[in-house]
Structure 1
């Protein structure tokens, strides 16, 4: 599934409306009932500085006990699509999410594997719950070149010093790529033909202030993520305390050995051989910081969503208030 080499990454993603409908249909049929994550494969072609996504197909639901080969399934599907003259080039994958909780280790590993084998691949994240509140939540992400190089190293060091030296932070792990939805002229004509007139009582549905539940859920998830970061910070503080205590014991041991050797030399005796200090005091492993970075990135994502919902709610409130205060003059 390797792709041709290129010199630059896609500037934006152009996705057909049919692909969006397929993703939404897949999530409605398999994911919404139990809020289970659904995944699928994106097909298309890279043209100049854009990545065109023209088709997709879902991964079937299967249990862990089943012997399901995902790679074989993908190859068979793309082979069948090629036979019927449909775009079959693999350009990424899509996944559903709920309340924007998609930034985790699983997403990082999956996108790294895709991007390592298919250079231009992207991951589309679709949030059906957010879409029901008036937002079409469809975002495209790629790993940054710095993260690809660092994560693909022979032995990546996720200690604070290693991440600082590589310049890796939660802000430059993933990069969001703009998404443009495009329909053909025939599809646009069809939409104009089947468009039904909106009834008068339904014309103000966009003023519905039903985003409070979404705001509350996002705030709860944000609080849980902040608690995770706080727990991780406490672990790191405990590590620093243990490391400081161990360094003090090391210094005391070295000073004591130096005093003993000085006394032995003064008595004409041979000094004691030097010991491996790391054998006496085993180094304390540094807690990895990758999970903390991902949780911090998730917190940033929750904050952006809260800002979007709050801005929409304020706008609706101002519009509704203006409509209520406006008095209609009786016709003369």
Structure 2
């Protein structure tokens, strides 16, 4: 997930910025008929209810994630928003760089993205950005970089855009897992205010489960893609009545898979390691927050003690008929640090929850396989 900051900067550079120059007078247009008002949604009044993925987009994302061999695969989604549905018709991958903090990497990704959009426009293909996709592993996609990228989109795109997450660990088990998300209004409001203090979380009723809201997904496949998948899944008939074993195996489009014999112990071990790492990171983050809070309480106590002492001195001076001492700005005398943000803690809690749910699924399946293997061995 280290490439997400560069992707956020690239998306911010390519998305249209609000213009400050005076614009010429807009031409007059005829009013849209009432019968077409619900279809032609110029002001984005129709709420987003569904994301429709083209089958070729699904294949391209799976191929990109498999070739990247990790959860760093990310790219741009292109398409059209129509009548409350985001129709994702195309996508392209963004390059990966080793040093994503380098400004040259950010500019390189932005130039590559702009070049791809120009090329798509020249061939009259869809070149409107409606979101981005991100590969993940073991169901965990909560991180600050993804939130920042989605916040940029949600602020500039017409319907806010979506982030499409693809679980490569589920795909390895034969399940093409895709989920679409966008930021909730409460979290987006707190993000724009850049305030994730305890009072802000309470007022917005924010937890890790209310950061993102899921949007339903539909996958549309063309007849050509359906026919291609059918040829992969169905064995081809041989004109020979009794083919040999070698020719019979060659006649099958897909080779036999022995993945069902895998007990899944490796996935459980890896999942447990991720849970432990996330819990250690959460414990460290909570320790840092507790340390900052103790510093804040210590400085506030010093400021309160100074104010109380100044009041006592002024009361004594007034009793003696002397002029009171002038009041001083406490914030200038005592540097009270701001309350630490709890955004990272929320992200880590979401990561732990995702890892735990995936561990529950994989461990239950693995236990059933282990008991079945044990029973077969005893027989």
Match of residue 224 from structure 2: 186
- The separation in 2 between residues aligned to 1:161 and 1:232, in whole angstroms, is 19
Deviation at 1:108, TM superposition (A): 0.9
1:52 aligns with 2:105: no
- The separation in 2 between residues aligned to 1:277 and 1:68, in whole angstroms, is 45
Deviation at 1:8, TM superposition (A): 4.1
The alpha-carbon distance between structure 1 residues 256 and 121, as it changes in their structure 2 partners (threshold 3 A), is closer
Match of residue 8 from structure 2: none
Match of residue 173 from structure 1: 211
CA contact (8 A) 1:123 1:141 kept: yes
Match of residue 124 from structure 1: 164
Deviation at 1:25, TM superposition (A): 1.9
Match of residue 138 from structure 1: 178
- The separation in 2 between residues aligned to 1:43 and 1:238, in whole angstroms, is 45
Match of residue 61 from structure 2: 23
- The separation in 1 between residues aligned to 2:42 and 2:282, in whole angstroms, is 40
Stretch deviating more after TM superposition (53-62 or 18-27): 53-62
Match of residue 293 from structure 2: 240
The residue matched to 1:141 in structure 2 has which SS? Answer: strand
TM-score by length of 2: 0.73
1:37 aligns with 2:72: yes
1:149-168 deviation line (CA, Å, top 9, x unaligned): 33234xx2221112222222
CA contact (8 A) 1:40 1:57 kept: yes
The alpha-carbon distance between structure 1 residues 62 and 170, as it changes in their structure 2 partners (threshold 3 A), is closer
The residue matched to 1:152 in structure 2 has which SS? Answer: helix
- Number of matched residues? 320
Matches within 5 A, 1:1-332: 4-29=42-67, 31-32=68-69, 35=70, 37-61=72-96, 64=102, 65=104, 68-118=107-157, 119-153=159-193, 156-197=194-235, 205=258, 207-316=260-369, 324=376
Deviation at 1:66, TM superposition (A): 6.0
- The separation in 1 between residues aligned to 2:315 and 2:106, in whole angstroms, is 70
- The separation in 1 between residues aligned to 2:260 and 2:232, in whole angstroms, is 25
Structure 1 unmatched runs, 5+: 328-332
1:115-149 deviation line (CA, Å, top 9, x unaligned): 22222421122233442133323222211122223
1:287-309 deviation line (CA, Å, top 9, x unaligned): 11111111122122212222222
CA contact (8 A) 1:133 1:210 kept: no
Deviation at 1:194, TM superposition (A): 4.1
The residue matched to 1:189 in structure 2 has which SS? Answer: helix
The residue matched to 2:51 in structure 1 has which SS? Answer: strand
Stretch deviating more after TM superposition (275-284 or 18-27): 275-284
Deviation at 1:4, TM superposition (A): 4.8
- The separation in 1 between residues aligned to 2:45 and 2:360, in whole angstroms, is 36
The alpha-carbon distance between structure 1 residues 48 and 259, as it changes in their structure 2 partners (threshold 3 A), is closer
- The separation in 2 between residues aligned to 1:300 and 1:283, in whole angstroms, is 34
Instruction: Give the RMSD, CA atoms, in angstroms.
Output: 3.2
Stretch deviating more after TM superposition (172-181 or 74-83): 74-83
CA contact (8 A) 2:75 2:132 kept: yes
CA contact (8 A) 2:136 2:166 kept: yes
